[in-house]
Copies of this chain bind each other. A is one copy, B any other.
Amino acid sequence: MTKQPTLGFIGLGLMGKPMAAHLLKAGFVLWVHNRSQVAVDELVAQGAHKASSAKEVAEHADIIMTCLPDSPDVEACVLGENGILAGAKPGLIVIDHSTIKPATARHLAAALAERGMHFLDAPVSGGQIGAQNGTLTTMVGGDAGALEAARPALEAFSKAITHIGGPGAGQVAKCCNQMMVAAQMAAMAELLILARKAEVDPQKVVAAIQGGAAQCWALDNKPQLLFAGNRQPGFKAYMQVKDMGIVMETAKELGMPLPATAANTQLFNAMMALGMQDLDNSAIVGVMEQLAGVDLL
């Protein structure tokens, strides 16, 4: 594209709103749509154009980003009544930043390809703070040429953009990311409560082990919050549970077991049963408190 593309953004939640704001700051013309109007009004005040549907966004935009809760939301937004395809022009690039099933991403990529359009799956890692600071890690699956055309826009909120492979590959990478995050959180929960149950100070244990082979993002970032009694998100447990569902369903489709990830997933599922769904994913330590009959603090 010789002139700067006109952009659209659909889904202005905790992640999408700050990502869209970065696009405005970078000087792009941006059409926005969201179920709730509060976020729309905020972005309009920053220079965005308001659209009343995904279809209307598509009537204006060359590149549309979506950031929605789950696979059915993205499918409806792209294929549904008043959805993106209903208003799209040939050459459109849709970039989905949601975490959805790799199979759904492949399906949507095929549907758009039939119309002469591109769908990139581009889930992000880095959380709300990464979105606000414009330092997200973006994992992209789909056509490499479409990614290059969209890269200047993605750079407005990404510190790293990696082309992983064909359609769905970005979502596979996100699955892998969430598998490791879940493993760290579950192991942290178990070891903190093992120490407590053995009457050994968990803070001293963390201080002793976090500099060696046990070093990880979870032990670097979460214990000080847990020891301060803070289990607020961060990244909500029910979103971790949703992502683990995608991981386990993907493994099933691939015809392979994930014995360790399955156990970690069960512990996150217990957070739902125990009413901890709106706490941070590190609050999985609360499940171990229940199982061991002892409090961390």
Binding site for B on A (CB under 8 A): 102, 125-127, 137, 139, 141, 160, 162-165, 168-169, 172-173, 175-177, 179-184, 186-195, 197-201, 204-205, 207-209, 211-219, 247, 250-251, 254-264, 266-267, 291-294
Instruction: Determine how close the nearest CB of chain B comes to the CB of A292; give it in whole angstroms.
Output: 4
Q: Is the CB of B212 within 8 A of A177?
A: yes
Q: Is the CB of B160 within 8 A of A250?
A: no
- Known contacts A125-B212, A173-B205; is-contact A260 B186 (Cβ 8 Å): yes
- Known contacts A168-B198, A172-B200; is-contact A209 B177 (Cβ 8 Å): yes
Residues of B within 8 A of A247 (CB): 194
**Pick the contact of A267 from B164, B219, B260, B293 — CB < 8 Å?**
B260
Residues of B within 8 A of A264 (CB): 187, 260, 263
The list of the 10 closest CB pairs from A to B, nearest first, reads A183-B187, A263-B263, A216-B216, A180-B214, A176-B191, A186-B260, A162-B208, A125-B212, A256-B292, A177-B209
Q: Which residue of B lies closest to A159 (CB)?
A: B211
Instruction: Determine how close the nearest CB of chain B comes to the CB of A244; give it in whole angstroms.
Output: 12
Additional A-B contact list (7), CB under 8 Å, known A164-B200, A181-B213? A172-B205, A177-B208, A177-B209, A177-B212, A179-B187, A216-B216, A260-B260
Cα–Cα distance between A190 and B251 once the two chains are bound (Å): 10
Cα–Cα distance between A227 and B201 once the two chains are bound (Å): 39
Residues of B within 8 A of A260 (CB): 183, 186-187, 189-190, 260, 263-264, 267
**Pick the contact of A173 from B182, B208, B215 — CB < 8 Å?**
B208
**Pick the contact of A177 from B177, B183, B213, B266 — CB < 8 Å?**
B213
Residues of B within 8 A of A262 (CB): 263
Q: Which residue of B lies closest to A204 (CB)?
A: B164
Residues of B within 8 A of A180 (CB): 184, 187-188, 191, 209, 214, 216, 219
Residues of B within 8 A of A212 (CB): 125-126, 137, 177, 217
**Pick the contact of A172 from B102, B168, B184, B194 — CB < 8 Å?**
B194
**Pick the contact of A208 from B139, B186, B187, B198 — CB < 8 Å?**
B139
**Pick the contact of A254 from B141, B197, B211, B219 — CB < 8 Å?**
B197
Q: Is the CB of B139 within 8 A of A256?
A: no
Instruction: Determine how close the nearest CB of chain B comes to the CB of A259; give it in whole angstroms.
Output: 5
Residues of B within 8 A of A291 (CB): 256-257, 259
Cα–Cα distance between A193 and B291 once the two chains are bound (Å): 31
Q: Which residue of B lies closest to A220 (CB)?
A: B215
Instruction: Determine how close the nearest CB of chain B comes to the CB of A18; give it in whole angstroms.
Output: 17
